């Protein structure tokens, strides 16, 4: 490769924009990642609470049907 092509290949976004602007973009990216993590955490908590509520509202028949115990073993 010629020197000109090597120089063009080494040219990156960081080299082509102002250092302050690059830092602002990096900080914004970190903030967005934090916001996304918070949203995922809240969503996970909400789903866990919904599961709890569904379990809490199940009827005795539903709980009995979901049980993996063999009730025949206790019947004599």
Six-digit token string for 37: 């993590």
Report d(CA 54, CA 10) in Å as an integer: 57
Q: What is the pLDDT of residue 65?
A: 82
Dihedral sign for Cα 16, 19, 23, 24, please.
Answer: negative
- Dihedrals φ, ψ of 17, to 5°? -115, 165
Residue with tokens 């916001």: 35
23-37 residues labelled b (16+ CB within 10 A) or e (exposed):
eeeeeeeeeeeeeee
Q: State if pTM tops 0.85.
A: no
Q: What is the pLDDT of residue 49?
A: 95
pLDDT tens-digit map of 20-52: 888 898 999 999 999 999 999 999 999 999 999
């Amino acid at each position: 490769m010629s020197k000109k092509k090597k120089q063009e290949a080494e040219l990156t976004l960081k080299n082509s924009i102002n250092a302050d602007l690059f830092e602002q973009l990096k900080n914004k990216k970190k903030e967005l990642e934090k916001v996304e993590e918070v949203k995922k955490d809240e969503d996970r908590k909400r789903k866990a609470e919904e599961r709890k509520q569904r379990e809490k509202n199940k009827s005795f028949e539903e709980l009995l049907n979901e049980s993996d115990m063999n009730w025949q073993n206790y019947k004599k």
